[in-house]
């Protein structure tokens, strides 16, 4: 028998192969270029063959060789903690690569448009002329992903869930093939707002599930509704390739004139804290086989809570997207209440993720809050607000990202999107440096790494290279942890068929619609005119929308149309254009919109530009306005007193008031039901006596309104904020203090205070009110 001799070389080779795990405990599958690797008892991996990533087998398990060096680095080892992996990768990255990680893209539509935000080209041409597929990457996206090392992308509109999934896969394949293979962390502003005229049917599906707006969520007074929304929305986000939510907005709506009240959970600190906690727990927590560690996993979505330290107390309600609204003021010395939704809510979770993973400060100068340095600069620039309070006193060590565009030069006091408040005299790189040294990690809306690198060099000159390198790595670790914890390094790819089955599926649509019904508030029901029996005849007047300007200052045309989908109405009631034939009238209006609080025409007439923001429809003269203003000053202004005392405004939609009053006349005593789409508090005294019933909603489908009117569902919502008796109480209330207005009392003797609402039996008095009214009383 012939002896077989094994050379020492072969023996060593076999030993190496065994140690590397040539006996595989994993399998590979997939179609096209995307491959899925399933580890027995380990994490599932996904990679794209076009990225040239190879699979390493270690002790029988598969790992991605993302940096293509032929060995397993710590950051590639899914068995290690996110903290350990992030520190390893951060230590390997160049400063240029870290600078790219600190960028957050401008708004990206899929496919991209050719005008306004995120205007882009494909192969040098506008999308419509390029012949590109809707899921292809734009020239600008390729540039910021490759040249600037950007890895955080803000996604706005998408053509369809399928297109979103395909686009995500292209982005991830490109990123996987570059440098250390760091995946993209795509994000979104809230995208579950209901489309009003879309019909809901049991069994229906859509582009994405539709839920009430944040004020509507608050009107349920039920944090479990918000937690369910978070759980469902997180699954839909991940199916779209979105792993960070730029939400929730947990500012307190203590200033009723503020344009962004509709994005809040109202003015109650405890209710907002409970809603914030539920929201973040719902979004961030993965369970079962979807969990990786500590509650984080493959259905987790990072939340970026906003806006620290509370954007609600804008002086006179003017918004800080504009120079005329840059100041938040505290006449009641009440910063404490504005911190509660953060410190007692989103940063103190019930779930295992423990706290929100990211925080966004608001644009505002929180006027005279910084007692340490007496510095009145935008919140992202303020070391006291960022490092001393948020990181120091409250122990937050997650990501802090500026709001969008805070380092851009101001163009005009009424210009949108240029918000370098308080540091206008600094250069753009100097602004980046000040933000980094304040303790912020990331720059919202910045696709260009150049200013970050210049800021780094400033730090090297002042503190030395070792110090500045450590500061940059500190931010890199925070940013990488958020990508690692949600499993993107293992598998950032989507199965298009799964995406189509998840996003907007029947169960999710049903849950969203039920939440819409719970959010609707009935304020008045004189003689119990509601509900109205089906097949009664209804008169619905057309709504006139006057020409005006939107939030961004762009002109909007005049229109005259029905304010509701008549095809839906006809499934509930008979419809007539003749009031004499109607059994009742349904008047559908929006809360008053008097503008931004600044008018360039006033400047042309010799004024300072500042005008009232009114919460009533008719002409309002600001007799009781503050004079002088608490804060003021801008490079484009030669004065600091921003008072508007004695000036008059009328709501752009004053025709809504006329519509109610005219309908009351033509109905000749027959019931008039008023349905209000409310975006912030309003003065009811102009028309309330003329209405037999009033219902309020916050971004719901038309069908939800009709279900309430017809009695198919019973109203259960409660006011998440006070309704003022008049504009005097609005002017004399303090911007930073909740519950300090005199509230409207209606013809039936009910007061429209926080927590008020009615059902078919009358005024609601239940455990929800007991819990949250205590804060008011």
**Are the C-beta atoms of residues 105 and 153 closer than 8 Å to each other?**
yes
Half-sphere exposure of 444 (CA within 13 A, CB side): 29
681 and 182 Cβ atoms separated by less than 8 Å: no
Strands 555-556 and 358-361: unpaired
Residue 342's nearest CA partner among 420, 276, 392, 401 is 276
DSSP state of 261: G
Closest to 330 measured CA to CA, from 371, 272, 360, 359: 371
Edge to edge, the sheet with strand 26-29 lists 26-29, 34-39, 45-48
Q: Are 141 and 106 in contact (CB under 8 A)?
A: no
3-class DSSP state for residue 249? strand
Residue 627: CB atoms within 10 Å: 12
CA distances for 232 relative to 38, 185, 359, 507, angstroms: 26, 19, 22, 9
Which long-range CB contacts under 8 A does 702-706 form with residues at least 24 apart? 702/196, 702/197, 702/564, 702/565, 702/568, 702/569, 703/199, 703/200, 703/513, 703/568, 704/194, 704/200, 704/513, 704/516, 704/517, 704/520, 705/520, 705/564, 705/588, 705/675, 706/568, 706/569, 706/571, 706/572
Contact 701, 513 (CB under 8 A): yes
Cβ–Cβ under 8 Å, residues 534 and 710: yes
**CA 557, 560, 566, 568 torsion: positive or negative?**
positive
Which helix or strand (DSSP H or E) is residue 672 part of?
strand 672-677
Q: Are 481 and 83 in contact (CB under 8 A)?
A: yes
What would the two tokens of residue 750 be?
């009910």
Report the pLDDT value the prediction gives residue 6, as an integer from 0 to 100: 43
CA distances in angstroms from 580 to 5, 48, 119, 585, 670, listed in the order given: 107, 68, 52, 10, 9
- Cβ-based neighbour number of residue 43 at 10 Å: 18
632 preceded by a cis bond (ω within 30 of 0): no
d(CA 195, CA 181): 39
**What is the Cα–Cα distance from 235 to 233, expressed in whole angstroms?**
5
What is the token pair recorded at 163? 């297109």
Tokens 């009238």 belong to residue: 585
Closest of 419, 407, 458, 409 to residue 437, by C-alpha: 458
Q: For residues 341 and 276, what is the distance between their CA atoms, to the nearest angstrom?
A: 7
pLDDT tens digit string along 3-22? 444 444 344 344 444 444 45
- pLDDT for res 579: 98
CA-to-CA distance for 99 and 90, rounded, in angstroms? Answer: 11
Please give the Cα distance from 208 to 200 (Å, whole number).
13
Residues in the chain: 777
**189 exposure class (CB count in 10 Å sphere: 0-12, 13-18, 19+):** middle
Neighbour count for residue 438 (Cβ, 10 Å): 23
Long-range contacts of 550-559 (CB under 8 A, 24+ apart): 551/259, 551/321, 551/596, 552/416, 553/414, 553/416, 553/596
Beta-carbon contacts of 374 under 8 Å, excluding residues fewer than 6 positions away, are: none
The two counts, helices (H) then strands (E), for the chain are 22, 32
- Asked whether 407 and 331 are in contact (CB, 8 A), the reply is no
CA distance 551 to 260: 10
Q: What is the pLDDT of residues 303-339, one digit of tens each?
A: 999 999 999 999 999 999 999 999 999 999 999 999 9
**CA separation for the pair 40, 523 (Å, rounded):** 58
Quick one: tokens of 185? 């962390």
Query: Which letter, b or e, does each residue of 87-111 get, where b requires 16 or more Cβ atoms within 10 Å of its Cβ?
Result: bbbbeebebbbbbbbbbbbbbbbbb
As given in the structure block, the two tokens for residue 598 are 């600044």
Beta-carbon contacts of 19 under 8 Å, excluding residues fewer than 6 positions away, are 59
**CB atoms closer than 10 angstroms to residue 467:** 12
Per the CB < 8 A criterion, the answer to whether 431 and 407 are in contact is: yes
Distances, alpha carbon 477 to alpha carbons 162, 227, 547, in Å: 32, 29, 49
Segment (H or E) for 38? strand 34-39
Rounded to whole angstroms, the Cα distance separating 52 from 65 reads 9
The DSSP code for 412 is -
Provide the CA 547 distance to its chain's centre, in angstroms: 28
- Report the alpha-carbon distance of residue 58 to residue 76 in Å, rounded: 12
Tokens describing residue 212: 């009430």
Whole-angstrom distance, CA of residue 59 vs CA of residue 750:
72
Q: For the chain, first and last CA: distance in Å?
A: 99
Residues 6+ apart with CB under 8 A from 430: 423, 455, 458
Omega of the bond leading into 701 within 30 degrees of 0 (cis) = no
Three-class SS state of 238: helix
Identify whether the C-beta of residue 473 lies closer than 8 Å to the C-beta of residue 98.
Answer: yes
User: In the prediction, which pLDDT does 554 show?
Assistant: 72
Spatial distance between the Cα atoms of 748 and 725, rounded to a whole number of angstroms: 15
Q: How many CB atoms lie within 10 A of CB 72?
A: 17
Helix (H) or strand (E) segment spanning residue 328: strand 327-328
Angle of helix 506-519 relative to helix 223-239, nearest 10 degrees, comes to 150
Judge contact between 441 and 472, C-beta under 8 A. Answer: no
Instruction: Give dist(CA 777, CA 775) in Å, integer.
Output: 6
Q: What is the DSSP string of 488-534?
A: TTT-----HHHHHHHTT-HHHHHHHHHHHHHH-EEEEEGGG-PSPPT
**So what's the pLDDT on residue 551?**
60
Phi-psi region of 173 (alpha: psi -120 to 50; beta: other; left: phi over 0): alpha
Q: Which segments of the chain have a pLDDT < 70?
A: 1-22, 116-118, 195-206, 550-553, 774-777
């Amino acid at each position: 028998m012939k002896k077989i001799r094994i050379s020492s070389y072969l023996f060593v080779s076999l030993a190496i192969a065994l140690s590397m795990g040539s006996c595989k405990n994993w399998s590979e599958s997939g179609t096209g270029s995307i491959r899925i690797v399933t580890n027995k008892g380990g994490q599932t991996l996904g990679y794209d063959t076009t990225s040239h990533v190879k699979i390493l087998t270690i002790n029988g398990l598969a790992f991605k060789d993302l940096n293509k060096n032929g060995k397993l680095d710590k950051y590639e080892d899914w068995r290690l903690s996110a903290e350990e992996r992030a520190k390893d990768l951060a230590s390997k990255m160049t400063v240029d690569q870290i600078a790219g990680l600190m960028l957050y893209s401008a708004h990206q539509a899929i496919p991209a448009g050719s005008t306004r935000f995120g205007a882009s080209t494909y192969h040098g041409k506008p999308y419509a002329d390029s012949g590109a597929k809707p899921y292809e990457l734009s020239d600008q996206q390729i540039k910021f992903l490759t040249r600037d090392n950007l890895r955080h992308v803000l996604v706005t509109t998408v053509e369809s869930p399928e297109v979103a999934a395909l686009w995500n896969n292209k982005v991830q394949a490109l990123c996987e093939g570059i440098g250390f293979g760091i995946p993209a962390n795509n994000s979104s502003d809230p995208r579950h707002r209901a489309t009003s005229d879309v019909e809901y049917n049991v069994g229906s599906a859509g582009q994405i599930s539709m839920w009430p707006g944040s004020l509507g969520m608050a009107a349920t007074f039920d944090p479990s509704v918000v937690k369910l929304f978070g759980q469902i929305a997180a699954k839909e986000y991940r199916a779209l390739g979105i792993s960070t939510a730029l939400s929730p907005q947990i500012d307190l709506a203590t200033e009723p004139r503020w344009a962004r009240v509709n994005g809040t959970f109202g003015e109650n600190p405890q209710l907002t804290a409970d809603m914030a906690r539920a929201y973040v727990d719902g979004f961030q927590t993965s369970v079962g086989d979807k969990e990786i560690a500590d509650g984080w996993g493959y259905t987790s979505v990072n939340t970026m809570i906003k806006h620290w330290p509370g954007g609600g107390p804008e002086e006179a309600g003017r918004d800080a997207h504009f120079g005329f609204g840059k100041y938040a003021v505290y006449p009641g010395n009440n910063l404490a209440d504005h911190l509660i939704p953060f410190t007692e809510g989103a940063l103190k979770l019930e779930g295992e993720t423990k706290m929100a993973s990211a925080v966004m400060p608001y644009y505002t100068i929180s006027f005279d809050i910084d007692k340490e340095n007496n510095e009145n600069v935008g919140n992202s620039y303020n070391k006291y607000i960022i490092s001393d309070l948020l990181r120091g006193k409250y122990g937050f060590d997650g990501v802090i990202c500026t709001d969008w565009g805070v380092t851009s030069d101001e163009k005009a006091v009424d210009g949108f999107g240029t918000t370098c408040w308080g540091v206008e005299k600094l250069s753009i790189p100097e602004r980046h440096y000040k933000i980094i040294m304040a303790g912020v990690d990331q720059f919202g809306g910045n696709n260009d790494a150049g200013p970050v690198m210049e800021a780094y060099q400033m730090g090297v000159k002042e503190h030395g290279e070792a110090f500045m390198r450590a500061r940059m790595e500190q931010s890199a670790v925070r940013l990488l942890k958020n990508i690692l914890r949600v499993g993107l390094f293992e598998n950032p790819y989507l199965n298009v068929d799964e995406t189509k089955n998840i996003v907007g599926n029947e169960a999710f649509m049903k849950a969203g619609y039920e939440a819409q019904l719970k959010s609707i508030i009935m304020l008045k029901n004189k003689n119990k005119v509601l509900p109205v029996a089906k097949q009664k005849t209804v008169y619905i007047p057309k709504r006139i929308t006057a020409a005006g300007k939107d939030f961004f200052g762009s002109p909007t045309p005049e229109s005259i149309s029905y304010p509701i989908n008549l095809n839906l109405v006809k499934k509930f009631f008979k419809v007539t254009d003749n009031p004499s034939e109607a059994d009742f009238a349904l008047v559908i209006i929006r809360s008053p919109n008097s503008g931004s609080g600044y008018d360039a025409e006033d400047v042309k007439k010799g004024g300072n530009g500042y005008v009232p923001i009114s919460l009533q429809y008719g002409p309002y003269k600001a007799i009781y306005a503050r004079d002088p203003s608490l804060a003021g000053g801008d490079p484009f202004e030669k004065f600091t007193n921003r008072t508007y005392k004695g000036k008059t405004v009328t709501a752009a939609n004053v025709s809504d008031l006329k519509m109610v009053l005219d309908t009351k006349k033509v109905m000749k005593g027959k019931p008039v039901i008023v349905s209000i789409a409310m975006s912030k508090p309003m003065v009811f005294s102009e028309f309330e006596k003329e209405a037999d019933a009033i219902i309020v909603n916050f971004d719901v489908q038309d069908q939800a309104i009709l279900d309430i009117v017809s009695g198919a569902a019973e109203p259960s919502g409660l006011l998440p904020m006070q309704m003022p008796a008049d504009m005097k109480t609005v002017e004399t209330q303090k911007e930073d203090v909740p519950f300090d207005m005199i509230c409207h009392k209606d013809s039936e003797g009910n007061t429209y205070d926080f927590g008020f609402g009615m059902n078919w039996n009358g005024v609601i008095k239940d455990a929800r009110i007991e819990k949250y009214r205590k804060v008011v009383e």
